[in-house]
């Protein structure tokens, strides 16, 4: 009988070991999930709510399907809302759940601002303890009065120290001391896939906490931008703009700026301005009231697989120089159209959109190396980076985008002269999957007319797009490589199926 007991003891030991391992696995699983409660307690006092009294002005909302206002009575997004949410919106005044007036967001006419009425626009956070608050430029732009509400319920008037539209950063000052300032993160350590947490006032619900992960780094939302955005799937909604994005150490990694959405609500794709970019802008605004950026003076385009093959590149990488601005730093350095910039200041370029943020981050006057592929050979040029002219920064700061999957920009006088266009037109800065792409539009095209209507500004384009017949096919006239070209654009049907 004794020998028979050994297998029993062995089985019991194995069972006990399995139970211990299962317990360890459960403990490890629980340990792998972050705890946010203590983190919220530690950092939420640095977050503020920002409300404004808007100045009397004509509505200037732009075209992008991002950072929408709260849905109004006639909004398509409202149709998909549950009845309790519709009732809530009907019973509360706009200032109770206010929506952001983002320059890249679609304005919903159901929530037009009332003259003199205070609107809860967004969020912010204490950057420096002596009363400096950082937020998005679009939250406070054109505001007549700005109020900052702290976590202890104090409401203090704020003045704008400086505002920088290209980065969408504004620095505010309130009369307060010893405020709980945030700790900023070392952005070189930020990794895709790590947990992040956002705190803000979506739809006016103060100190709402959401969490997610870093979905991507260095996102370019349009050409010639100077912000390498952080993409996150943390729930970001109107009212979160300007608020902080924290890592698990309680350090700010970004300033929540905008969302990509066709409805105005969170769709799991949000973008934050990296804190190192925001901090650099804030310091310049504090010290001199304006922001200077490096300028190279080139127009570049993406290197496609076919182009890479034609240039003798093993893979599609770099930025292809399409135009060199006369008298610019790039011309003085000897850069030529047809060159492929492989690296800037020893930073490799995998895509062309990575170039503007790298150039913009360099102080004007610095000499940096450019690795260039020219006629099949790699050469290194030295370029003395210039200062980005204000007029160029203004035209590149907030490129309007259309629900058709089209991003556009204003044309400067030099742009028209180079294209030999006497008047009108808008530049095609980005083409995304959608009707515009199906029509054959490309980045670098100049849109001259749509549905028989001349286009001379992004605002005019918006008006024409809004009047397009749903489900119809309409002509558009562009200029490509100096020659006019007609294309057919299929307008989506009312149900969005076409």
What's 327's domain CATH number?
Answer: 2.30.42.10
Domain holding 206: CATH number?
2.40.10.10
Last residue of a domain, one of 174, 203, 224: 174
Which residue among 108, 168, 415, 445 is the active-site one?
168
Per-residue pLDDT, averaged over 330-344, amounts to 93
pLDDT in tens, 285-322: 999 999 999 999 988 888 888 888 888 888 999 999 88
Angstrom distance (rounded) from CA 439 to CA 490: 7
Q: Do 212 and 104 share a structural domain?
A: no
Tell me whether residue 88 is in a domain: yes
**Residue 175 scores a pLDDT above 90:** yes
Kindly name the residue from 46, 123, 241, 397 that is annotated as catalytic. 241
Reply yes or no on whether 92 is catalytic. no
Same domain, 302 and 376: yes
| Banded model confidence at residue 104, pLDDT cuts 50, 70, 90 | very low
Q: Which residues pair with residue 474 across a beta bridge?
A: 489
Q: Give CA separation, 483 vs 168, 229, 248, 273, 460, in Å.
A: 36, 35, 54, 38, 23
Same domain, residue pair 278 and 223: yes
Of the three residues 272, 288, 304, the one that is the final residue of a domain is: 288
pLDDT band, very low/low/confident/very high, at 48 (cuts 50, 70, 90): very high
Domain boundary among 242, 257, 288: 288
* Residue-range definition of the domain harbouring residue 361: 294-387
Count of structural domains, the chain: 4
Task: Let me know whether 96 and 141 are in one domain.
Answer: yes
Query: Contact at 8 Å (CB) between 404 and 436?
Result: yes
Catalytic residue among 46, 108, 138, 328: 138
pTM: 0.65
For residues 382 and 422, membership in a common domain is answered with no
Q: Which of 137, 163, 158, 160 is nearest to 257 (CA)?
A: 137
Tell me, what's the pLDDT at 391?
A: 60
Quick check: is 498 in a domain? no
Answer yes or no: do 352 and 383 share one domain: yes
Indicate whether 141 and 228 sit together in one domain: no
> Considering the domain boundaries, does residue 38 fall inside one?
no
Is 43 contained in some domain?
no
Residue 170 has which token pair? Answer: 């504004």
Instruction: Answer yes or no: 241 catalytic.
Output: yes
């Amino acid at each position: 009988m004794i020998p028979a007991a050994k297998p029993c003891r062995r089985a019991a030991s194995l069972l006990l070991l399995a139970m211990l391992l299962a317990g360890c696995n459960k403990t490890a699983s629980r340990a792998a999930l972050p705890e946010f409660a203590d983190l919220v307690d530690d950092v939420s006092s640095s977050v503020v709510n920002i409300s404004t009294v808007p100045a009397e002005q004509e509505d200037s909302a732009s075209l992008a399907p991002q950072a929408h206002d709260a849905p109004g009575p006639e909004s398509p997004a409202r149709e998909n809302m549950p009845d309790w949410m519709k009732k809530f919106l009907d019973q509360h005044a706009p200032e109770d759940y206010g929506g952001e007036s983002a320059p890249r967001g679609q304005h919903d006419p159901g929530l037009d601002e009332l003259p003199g009425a205070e609107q809860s626009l967004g969020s912010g956070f204490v950057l420096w303890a002596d009363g400096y608050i950082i937020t998005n430029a679009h939250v406070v732009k054109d505001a007549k009065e700005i109020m900052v509400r702290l976590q202890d319920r104090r409401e203090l008037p704020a003045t704008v120290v400086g505002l920088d539209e290209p980065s969408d950063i504004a620095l505010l000052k309130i009369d307060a001391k010893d405020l709980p300032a945030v700790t900023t993160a070392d952005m070189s350590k930020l990794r895709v896939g790590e947990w992040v947490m956002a705190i803000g006032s979506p739809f006016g619900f103060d100190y709402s906490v959401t969490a997610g992960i870093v979905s991507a780094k260095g996102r370019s939302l349009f050409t010639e931008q100077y912000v390498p955005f952080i993409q996150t799937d943390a729930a970001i909604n109107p009212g979160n703009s300007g608020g902080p994005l924290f890592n698990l150490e309680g350090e700010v990694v970004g300033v929540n700026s905008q969302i990509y959405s066709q409805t105005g609500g969170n769709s799991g794709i949000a973008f934050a301005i990296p804190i190192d970019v925001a901090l650099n802008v804030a310091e310049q605004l504090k010290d001199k009231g304006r922001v200077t950026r490096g300028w190279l003076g080139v127009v570049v385009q993406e290197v496609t697989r076919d182009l890479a093959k034609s240039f003798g590149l093993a893979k599609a990488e770099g930025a292809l120089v399409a135009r060199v601005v006369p008298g610019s730093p790039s011309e003085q350095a000897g850069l030529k159209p047809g060159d492929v910039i492989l690296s800037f200041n020893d930073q490799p370029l995998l895509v062309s959109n990575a170039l503007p943020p790298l150039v913009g981050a360099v102080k004007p006057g610095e000499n940096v190396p450019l690795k260039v592929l020219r006629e099949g050979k790699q050469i290194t040029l030295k370029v003395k980076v210039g200062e980005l002219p204000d007029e160029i920064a203004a035209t590149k700061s907030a490129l309007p985008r259309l629900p058709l999957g089209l991003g556009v920009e204003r044309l400067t006088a030099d742009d028209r002269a180079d294209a030999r266009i006497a008047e009108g037109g808008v530049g095609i800065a980005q083409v995304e999957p959608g009707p515009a792409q199906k029509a054959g539009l490309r980045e670098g095209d100049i849109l001259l007319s749509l549905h028989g209507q001349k286009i001379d500004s992004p605002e005019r384009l918006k008006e024409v797009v809004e009047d397009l017949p749903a489900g119809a096919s309409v002509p558009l006239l562009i200029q490509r490589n100096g020659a006019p070209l007609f294309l057919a654009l299929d307008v989506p049907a009312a149900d969005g199926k076409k």
